[in-house]
A and B are shown apart, each in its own frame.
Chain A
């Protein structure tokens, strides 16, 4: 059992006009096996929360803490955060020309596991994971995210989630740009990983659609850089019906 603990997190970003505060004190605790949906309007700071935890250099932490089982995550480099068990599935995965998916996955798995995976079992592991995500085997020979469709990019993110075996996954708008079939496949992938490994999930989304496939234990409404309401799955139903209006008109 692991715990990801976010306390009073404040984050700013440098702009031409100086520093702008985006996160204004976020408190959230996620335990292994729990799924927390973070829902909020565009521009509320949901993605900033995701990227700050992963360590994107664009964001400056100005207050608060993030710990994983009591260990300070914010003091770690980006790769150390991944090694300690955090995974960010990005909304816009980055193209890396000339680097094949095969080479990338193997390099990442080697880094995370501390040793190169055995060739024979690794090839089978990748094939199996790709098959369950309905991915064409040729996919492995393509360059990372280069020329991928929106659905292919998201499947590739979940493929990594499956192979890199983190303790906590942050899924940033994983549902955006997916048609119904792709959404189902990607969601099944997330549920499979969760079922197998007691994964803790922070599911960031604007829409309730993905919650039909990935059932949250907790729902948090995010607005103006912090959590403004928390509840159970029923809160998502309320949002579905009434939208975010009551949280944005201050």
Chain B
């Protein structure tokens, strides 16, 4: 247990970074008067050659990046132990490495993890977040030269769970980071999938899917810092909302610094409103300090169900309910298909179907 000693300033809700978040629902994670305990919350489900997990004292494993996110700053102050997952250089993971949460109590906790990918290693890691939690969590990724990591973060939390998280990748020369974030569970989830580069020729592909129903607040704030020349980034997040007071927030910040010549970036967010009373906020931001780039673009759409699609399918005899399910499954298929795991794909699609059935959408 650790108490806070520094001049920590809790957000008021007026800050740009917190203006969409219902601060009354963050479970005390930002309140210096609330005891937040340090937890080593990650466990490996299947062992793979070339992978090891060690729990280190925070003094032996400092953060590899800086953050101005207040939840992350607070978590760093609280956390005493860092879980370090290492993929050795030149390792090729044949199966995805499966991670689960452990030691979560449902009381306010903070956790930090560092995942290092050795030079020219290649692999997929799937983290399954489930159960009850009030968790402030930071995961950093250190991708060495020529490595590739696909990281799948599944938020299938219980309906009470609260999750503030940062998932930050530092990508070296010729390395590729693929992130797939799927958020369907939890009462309040606020995730920051963020990226910076440490060498040219590097690439990030950030894909996401969220589905909010009655009362859920699901927030994803992406930040891509193009701080080196000739790096690439793609962002594609898709969300659906159904039911009263379902709220999603998507912020896509892309920053192209003056030295980042040859940058190639595109970000996209699409939201599908399936019923009244739901609200989707979508804010793409592109800041460009050099014109010497390959391309930079963004798009954001939020719309209702396409009645023409529904009519087309129904006119082929498909009942409206099945037609809606087909269209929504189709909407998400592009993202879910990237996980390349049939079991997870089916589980997610079944969950989406059952959530839809619950809200009668």
Contacts and interface: CB of A to CB of B under 8 A. Distances in A.
Interface of A: 54-57, 77-79, 81-83, 87-88, 90, 93-99, 103-104, 107-108, 111-112, 143, 160, 164
Contact of B326 (A55, A82, A103): A103
B316 A98 contact: no
Chain B interface size, under 10 / 10 to 19 / 20 to 34 / 35 or more: 20 to 34
B338 to A, nearest CB: 12
Contact of A82 (B306, B308, B314, B330): B314
A59 B175 CA distance: 55
A107 to B, nearest CB: 6
A98 B333 contact: yes
Interface stretch (B14-22, B83-91, B197-205, B317-325): B317-325
Contacts of B308: 94
Interface of B: 306-309, 311-320, 322-323, 326-327, 329-334
Contacts of A79: 314-320, 323
Contacts of B319: 79, 111
A104 B322 contact: no
A112 B332 contact: no
A177 B320 CA distance: 30
Contacts of A160: 316
Contact of B316 (A55, A77, A143, A164): A164
A49 B326 CA distance: 28
Given A79-B319, A107-B326, 12 more contacts: A57-B307, A82-B316, A90-B312, A94-B308, A94-B309, A97-B334, A99-B326, A99-B329, A103-B326, A107-B322, A112-B317, A164-B317
Contacts of B306: 94
Contacts of B322: 107, 111
B315 A54 contact: yes
A237 B311 CA distance: 36
A56 B311 contact: yes
A160 B313 CA distance: 12
B329 A98 contact: yes
Contacts of A103: 326
